[in-house]
Structure 1
Amino acid sequence: IFCDPADLPGLAHFLEHMVFMGSEKYPSENGFDAFLKKHGGSDNASTDCERTVFQFDVQRKSFKEALDRWAQFFICPLMIRDAIDREVEAVDSGESLCVSGLKVPAGNAQTLKQEPKKKKINVYKRLRAFWKKHYSAHYMSLAVQSKVVPVRKVHALNITWALPPQEKYYRVKPLHYISWLIGHEGTGSILSVLRKKCWALALFGGNSETGFDQNTTYSIFSISITLTDEGFQNFYQVHKHLKMLILSVDQFRIYEEIQKIEANEFHYQEQIDPIEYVEDVCENMQLFPKEDFLTGDQLMFEFNPQVISAALSLLTPEKANLMLLSPEHEGQCPLREKWFGTQYSVEDIQQNWMEQWTANLEFNIDLHLPAENKFIATDFTLKPSDCPDTEFPVQIANSDRGCLWYKKDNKFKIPKAYIRFHIISPVIQKSAKNVVLFDLLVNILGHNLAEPAYEAEVAQLDYKLVAGEHGLVIKVKGFNHKLPLLFHLIIDHLADFSASPDVFSMFSEQLKKTYFNILIKPEKLSKDVRLLILEHSRWSMVEKYQALSAGLSSDDLMEFSRCFRAQLFAEGLVQGNFSSAESVQFLQYITEKLQFTKLPAEVPVMFQVVELPLKHHVCKVKSLNKGDANSEVTVYYQSGPKNLKEYTLMELLVMHMEEPCFDFLRTKETLGYHVYPTCRNTSGVLGFSVTVETQATKFNTELVELKIEEFLTSFGEKLSELTEDAFNTQVTALVKLKECEDTHLGEEVDRNWSEVVTQQYVFNRLNKEIDALRQMSRSELVLWFQEHRGQKSRKLSVHVSSGGGQRGEGHEDAEEDSMYGEVSKLSFLQASPKMAPAVSIMDIQAFIKNLPLFPYHKILE
C-alpha cells in the first residue's frame, strides 16, 4: 500500500483482486476457484503496507496443476477491462463492510473509478504498469509444503509511538519484551491497578509485527486500553500509571523467563496448518538470514539491555499520539476523513498531563514487576498408558452427577493435554433474565481469574470459559505438567464466586454494550431472528438486552450463582498426556469442590425446532444501526430431522453450490462482497441457506432475494445436467477432505468434544459419512435439491434492511439525531407485492405460536 500512487489510492489492493480473475493460459474468470473447490481446496490473499501475500491449499494429488494455475496469475494475468469495472464494485462493497478495522485506504469505487474518471486517468493502463513494476521475481519469495466513530459502543484509549525500525534487533526483540511487561495482566500489573479502580477492562500493548506496525521506515509501539465509563472520565490518570512501570522494566530474570516460555512453545509446538506454515516461512525468508528462517520470528536469542533501554527512552509524552474513541464524541468531531467518512477531531495534549508525566511520581505499592512464574513446565516426560489403547474416547467414569470420556494420546506424542467440561444446569434457560445473569457470571468469573491465571496463560497454558446455551463450558489445554494447577484454580473460583457491586456495575454496562454491538451488525441480527423463529423457547438478543436494561443487581447475580451451582451434571473429556487415573481426578475435583446434587431430570442440550409451514414466509426487519448502509438477506430451506446419510448429501449439495453461487451473485450480479451457501444443522434439524450481504445504497433486499431465486433456478438446471464424472469428482473431493489426517491433537479433540457436548457420541462420524458418500448417486443429489425447491418446500427468508440511504424500504421515518435506532425492540417491515405469494411475518411469537415442533433429534445413524 505504501507504493500506491498518490492519485490512485487502493491500487495495490485492487491488483491483488484482479490477478486472480483469469490468466492467458487459464482464461476462465473463476476457473481457479472452481478448480480448488472441486479438489477440496481454498485460497486467500491480503495486501499489507510493504507486502502482498497470496496463499492456497489443495489436495495433494492436484497440487502440481493448482500450482501451475496459480503461477499463471503472476506470469500473465488477463485483467480484462470488463472485469476491472465489475471488480471495482465488489471491492467497494467489501470495503464498506469492514472499514472500521482498516488503518489505511484499501480502495473503493471513489478512489478507483469516480476520481480517476474526473481526472481522466486510465485505470486499466496504470494497473498493468503497476503489475509490471512490482510483480517481479526479485521482489518475490515462495514457500510450499507438500510431500512433493466507532460504530460499536466502546470507550478506548490508544497511545501510539513511532520508533525507528526495530526489525534488525529481532534476536533481542525489545518491543516484544517491553510489550510483555506492559501488557501483563497479573498481580502488580498496570491492568491490575486499573481494574481495582474499575477504570479498565482490557489492555494490550506492543507491536503486531504486521506490515503497518513493522517495516523498513518505522516500528509502531502502541498501547490500547478498553475503558469503563469511569475510566473514560479519568483517561489522563490511566496514562500516568504507564510511566511507573516503564521506569523499572530492565530485568534479566524477566527476559530469561520469557525466553524459556518461547523456547518451550517452539520445541514442543504442534503442527500447524500447512498453508499457515508456508506463509510464515515465506515472509521470514524476506526478513531474516537463512539460518533463522524457521526461528527468527519466534525465539528470543539474547538479552541486550542497551537495545531495550534505547527503545524505552523513546516512549516519551512529547512523541506520543493519543486516540480517544467513544460514542460520547458523537456531534463533537467536525473533521471528516476523505475516503471512509470517519468523523474525528484533533487537539493538543493537555499541558497538565505532560507535567504529570515528567514530574516525580509517588511510589505505588500496587504496581510492581511479576513474581516468579510457578506455571512454567519443566517435566516433559511422556506418560505410559494405564489402560488399553483405543481409537476413540471411552467413558471411564459415570454417575448421576457426572461422567468422563478419556483417550490417551499415542499419535502425536507431545507432553500436552486437553481438559474440557460441560457443566449443565436447568436454571439457565428458564428466563431471559437468567440467561443474562449467566452471561454476567461467566464474564465476572473470567475477570476474577484474570490475575491469578495470567501467569498460566503466559506459560502457554490456555483456558476458555464459554457461556453455553445449557451450561458452562470450561476448556483447558497446554503442557500437562502444570495443567492441573490451572484447572483447580478455575474450579476454586467457580466454587467461591463473588461479585462486588462495583464490579457487577462495570460488567453490566460492558455486557449491555456487547449486546448492543451484536444487535447493530446486520449479520448477527439476521442470525438472531432466524434462530428465534426456528428454535422453540430460545431467548433472543433483543430480549436479553431488554432484561439487562430493566435493571439487575449484584444480589440477583449471587442468588443466581447459588441456584446454578445447586443442581448440576458435569460431563468431561480428557485427551493427551494424562493417565486414566489422573483424568478421573478432574471430575472428582469438580464434584467434591462444587458440592452439587444430581439433576431432578435430564436437561436437553439442544432446543426443539419449529416445523415451518409448506409455504414461503418472509421476516423483514429494520437494521438497528441507521448509520450502516449494509443489509443482509438469508434464504433458508428447512429439510427436517434427517439421518447421517442425508446430512452428508446436504454437505455435498452445498459444496456443489459454492462456486456457481459466488460466480452468479458476486462476480456477475455484483450484489455484494460476502455471498455464500451454508449447510444448516439447527439442533439436529437439517436445512440449507444462501446468504448475501449487500449495500442498501445499491440494492434493496427484495431485489437481492429475487436474484437468489434466479441463481437457485439456474443452479437446479445445471445440477440436472451434471455428468457422472463431475459428480464423482466432487464426491471424491469431499471424501478426501474428510479423510485428511489431523495435523495436531487439538483437531481430534475438537471433533470428539463436539460429540460429547451435543451428547451424540458418534466418535466415528467421519468414517460413517465417508461410507455414505461412497454409496451416493448423482440422481439422489438431483432429487434431494428438487425436493427442497418443489411444492413441499419449507422456505424462510430473513431480511435485515438498512436505512443507510436505502429507497423504498419503509425507512422514511428514520430519526435524524443519532446514527443508532432503538435496539430494545425489532421493527418489522411488510414485504412488497413483488414478493408474492410470500407471506410476511410481522410478529414472530404470533407466527410460531401454533406451529408444530419436531421431536428432539440427534443425527446418529
Structure 2
Amino acid sequence: MPSGCPPSTATAPGYRSLHSPMDDVRKSPEDARDYRRLCLESGLLVLLISDPDMRASCSVENEFLSNTPDGRGAKRAAAAMAVEVGSFADPDTAPGLSHLLEHMLFMGSEKYSGENEYGKFLVEHGGDANAFTEAEHTCFHFQVDPGSLRGALDRFAQHFVAPLILEESLDREVLAVDSEFQQALQSDHARLFQVQCHTARRCHPFCKFSWGNRASLVDTPAAAGLRVRGMLQDHFARHYRADRMALVVLGAEPLDALEHWTRESFAGLSEDGPRCSRQPAVPTCMPGGVSSGADEEEEGRRAEHLGDMMGELSCKAVGSSGAMSEIPSCKGGDTCDATEGAAPHEAAPPYDTVDTVLYQSLAVQADHHQLHITFPLPCLRAHYQSKPAEYLSHLIGHEGCGSLLSALKAQKLATDLSAGVGGTGFDRASTYELFTVTVTLTQHGLPRALDVAGLLFVYLAMLRRAGPLEWVFRELSSQNEVQFRFQPQASAQSTPRYSDLWLPANVSAARSDLL
C-alpha cells in the first residue's frame, strides 16, 4: 500500500469527538463523501470530509496517475483555514496590514523553520497553496497528493500555532504586496472597487485601503514611529485565535483518522477565547452538498422579507420619462449615526442611503461601457433560507420577453444585464450587502445612461407593486433543488470562506419556504 494511504479502518484512540447536532446533515443523494463537524476544546471549528473515491484512487495510485500527463487529473487531498479577520481590522497607521500578514504567515514556523519548507513540501508532493484577504476574513488553503496529506497538514497547522514572522522576510513580502497593487491598477474591476471604497463613509471600514503597498506598509508606519514586524506580531496575537478560526480538511482517510491528525497538528493553537461555545450567526448551504438551517420563526416571513427588499431597491422617485427625477451628488460623509454603545460601522451601512445618489464616471481599460448601480442593503444573512437577494436577482436579471433587458435591447441601449450581491467578502459583510445591477451599454446607450437607470427604477417599482410571486419562488426552489442534488463536488478551498456561517441546526427538507 502506498505511503500515507489509509487502512481499511481507523480509530482515534484517546480522543472523543465533540460532535454538534449538525452531524445529521442533509446532503445530496449523489454525494458519497462522509462529513463530520467538530468544535475542538480550543474553540476551533472543524469540518472533516472523507472521500471514498479518493481512497480508491489512492490504493491504485500508480495506475490512476498514469492516465494523466502529470497526475493532476487525480483527486487531491486539501485543507483550508478561514480566520475571522480581514482588511476591516487594519490600523490606520498601516493600511493593508492584514494582507501583508497573509503573506508573512507562511514564511516558516518554529517547528519547520525553513522559509520555504511548506511550499517545497507541497511542490515535491504534487501540491500547491494560496491565500486571500477579504473584508472580514482571511483564507489559506492547499492541495496535495492524497498520500502526503498528514505531512502537509502538520506544516500548514504550525503557521497558525507558532509562525516566525521573520524580519528578513519582511522587505521581500512587502515587495510582493506592492507588486499585486501595481497589477491591480490595470484592472477595471479593482479601480471601480477603489472608487467605491473612497466614496464610502469615513467612519466605515469599507473606506479603508485594503490592498496595501510600499507607501502604506513602510512609509506610513515609519512616519508614526512604528515597527512593522511588531505590528504584524500584535495583529496575529490579537486576531489569530482558535475561537476565530474554521478549518476544513478533505482526505482519503476515514473520518476518525482525519480527526486524529487534526487534533494532533492543531493541539498547540492559541486557546484564548470561549471553549466550544461558538454559535455562528448564520448557516449556509455547503458546497459539496451539506445544508443547515435556523429557527422556525423564519417560516412564513418570506413575503415580508421580499417586500421589504423591493422597497429598499425602489425607493427613488421616478419621472414619467423613466429617468430619475433628481440625482444629488455625494462624496461620502464624514460622520455616521451609530447606535449608542456600538461601533459606528455596526449600526450604519457604508453609504448614506437617505435621499442620496452618488454618480461617478470612470475611464476604463476595456473596450466596452458598463453602468453599475449599487444598492447598499442591510446584512441579509438572517434571511438565508428565503434568499430575497437571489429572488430579486432572478427577476431583474431575467432575459426573456417582458424583462428589463428585453426593453433595453428594444431601444438599442444595452446588450447585457446582470444583478445580485457579489460573491466576495467586500460585497457581503456582517453589517451590509451590496446589491449591484450591471448593464453593458451600447454606443447609443452610453450618453443615455441615466435613462437606462430610470428604466431600472420603473421596473423595480413594478416589482414592488406586484409583490412576491409564489410561482416564481416555486420555480426557483425547484431549480435550486436540482442544482443541490447534481452539483459537482466542491474542493476544500471553496468551503471555509463560508464556514463562519455554520449553525448547529438542520434544515427540514419538507420546508416549503426555502430556496
Counterpart residue number, 2:137: 51
Distance 1:109 1:251 in 2: 52
Distance 1:271 1:126 in 2: 40
Q: Deviations over 1:132-166 (max 9, x none)?
A: 11111000011111122323333211111111111
Counterpart residue number, 1:813: none
Distance 2:138 2:120 in 1: 23
Q: Deviations over 1:755-787 (max 9, x none)?
A: xxxxxxxxxxxxxxxxxxxxxxxxxxxxxxxxx
1:200 and 2:305 aligned: no
1:171 and 2:388 aligned: no
How much has 1:300 moved relative to structure 2? 12
- 1:153-302 → structure 2 map (5 Å cutoff): 153-249=367-463, 250-272=468-490, 274-276=491-493, 279-280=494-495, 282-291=496-505
User: Which structure 2 residue ranges, 5 or more long, are not aligned?
Assistant: 1-86, 194-208, 254-362
2:164 alignment partner, one of 64, 78, 81: 78
Counterpart residue number, 2:234: 129
Distance 2:410 2:181 in 1: 39
How much has 1:129 moved relative to structure 2? 0.1
How much has 1:199 moved relative to structure 2? 1.3
Q: Deviations over 1:28-68 (max 9, x none)?
A: 11221111111011111111101111111111111001000
Q: Secondary structure at the match of 2:371?
A: strand
Among all aligned residue pairs of Structure 1 and Structure 2, give the percentage whose two residues are the same amino acid.
36
For residue 118 of structure 1, what is the amino acid of its counterpart? Answer: A
For residue 266 of structure 1, what is the amino acid of its counterpart? Answer: F
* 2:422–2:436 contact (8 Å) kept in structure 1: no
Counterpart residue number, 1:4: 90
Q: Deviations over 1:158-189 (max 9, x none)?
A: 11111111111001100010011111122221
1:17 and 2:103 aligned: yes
Counterpart residue number, 1:141: 246
For residue 225 of structure 1, what is the amino acid of its counterpart? Answer: V
Q: Secondary structure at the match of 1:15?
A: helix
* 1:172–1:302 contact (8 Å) kept in structure 2: no
Counterpart residue number, 1:35: 121
How much has 1:302 moved relative to structure 2? 5.0
- 1:448-847 → structure 2 map (5 Å cutoff): none
For residue 140 of structure 1, what is the amino acid of its counterpart? Answer: M
Structure having the higher Rg: 1
For residue 181 of structure 1, what is the amino acid of its counterpart? Answer: L
Q: Secondary structure at the match of 1:55?
A: strand
For residue 122 of structure 1, what is the amino acid of its counterpart? Answer: R
Counterpart residue number, 1:108: 213
Q: Secondary structure at the match of 2:89?
A: coil
Distance 2:511 2:417 in 1: 27
Runs of 4+ in 1 over 4 A off after TM superposition: 299-302
How much has 1:251 moved relative to structure 2? 0.6
TM-score (norm 2): 0.55
Q: Secondary structure at the match of 2:374?
A: strand
* 1:171–1:302 contact (8 Å) kept in structure 2: no
How much has 1:268 moved relative to structure 2? 1.8
Q: Deviations over 1:304-326 (max 9, x none)?
A: 9xxx9xxxxxxxxxxxxxxxxxx
CA pair 164-301 structure 1, distance change in 2 beyond 3 A: farther
Q: Deviations over 1:284-314 (max 9, x none)?
A: 431131345xx89xx996549xxx9xxxxxx
CA pair 47-301 structure 1, distance change in 2 beyond 3 A: farther
Counterpart residue number, 1:844: none
Counterpart residue number, 2:182: 96
Distance 1:303 1:207 in 2: 21
Number of residue equivalences: 297
Counterpart residue number, 1:65: 151
How much has 1:112 moved relative to structure 2? 0.3
How much has 1:109 moved relative to structure 2? 0.5
Q: Secondary structure at the match of 1:224?
A: strand
Distance 1:261 1:176 in 2: 12
For residue 151 of structure 2, what is the amino acid of its counterpart? Answer: E
For residue 236 of structure 1, what is the amino acid of its counterpart? Answer: L
* 2:96–2:216 contact (8 Å) kept in structure 1: yes
Distance 2:230 2:510 in 1: 46
* 1:41–1:56 contact (8 Å) kept in structure 2: yes
Q: Secondary structure at the match of 1:142?
A: strand
Distance 2:149 2:386 in 1: 38
* 1:156–1:227 contact (8 Å) kept in structure 2: yes
Distance 1:232 1:33 in 2: 48
Distance 2:119 2:89 in 1: 28
TM-score (norm 1): 0.33
Q: Secondary structure at the match of 1:247?
A: helix
Q: Deviations over 1:779-818 (max 9, x none)?
A: xxxxxxxxxxxxxxxxxxxxxxxxxxxxxxxxxxxxxxxx
Distance 1:300 1:182 in 2: 28
Give the number of the structure whose residues are more often helix, by fraction.
Answer: 1
For residue 106 of structure 2, what is the amino acid of its counterpart? Answer: F
* 1:84–1:124 contact (8 Å) kept in structure 2: yes
Distance 1:93 1:209 in 2: 24
Distance 1:41 1:275 in 2: 13
- 1:350-365 → structure 2 map (5 Å cutoff): none
Distance 2:142 2:133 in 1: 15
Q: Deviations over 1:211-252 (max 9, x none)?
A: 111121111111111111211111111112223332343211
Distance 1:77 1:300 in 2: 47
* 2:248–2:492 contact (8 Å) kept in structure 1: no
Q: Structure with the greater relative contact order (CA < 8 A, sep ≥ 6): 1 or 2?
A: 2
Q: Secondary structure at the match of 2:370?
A: strand
Q: Secondary structure at the match of 2:222?
A: helix
For residue 489 of structure 2, what is the amino acid of its counterpart? Answer: Q
For residue 34 of structure 1, what is the amino acid of its counterpart? Answer: K
CA pair 264-64 structure 1, distance change in 2 beyond 3 A: same
CA pair 122-28 structure 1, distance change in 2 beyond 3 A: same
Q: Secondary structure at the match of 2:164?
A: coil
2:225 alignment partner, one of 120, 126, 130: 120
For residue 93 of structure 1, what is the amino acid of its counterpart? Answer: S
Q: Deviations over 1:456-511 (max 9, x none)?
A: xxxxxxxxxxxxxxxxxxxxxxxxxxxxxxxxxxxxxxxxxxxxxxxxxxxxxxxx
How much has 1:118 moved relative to structure 2? 2.5
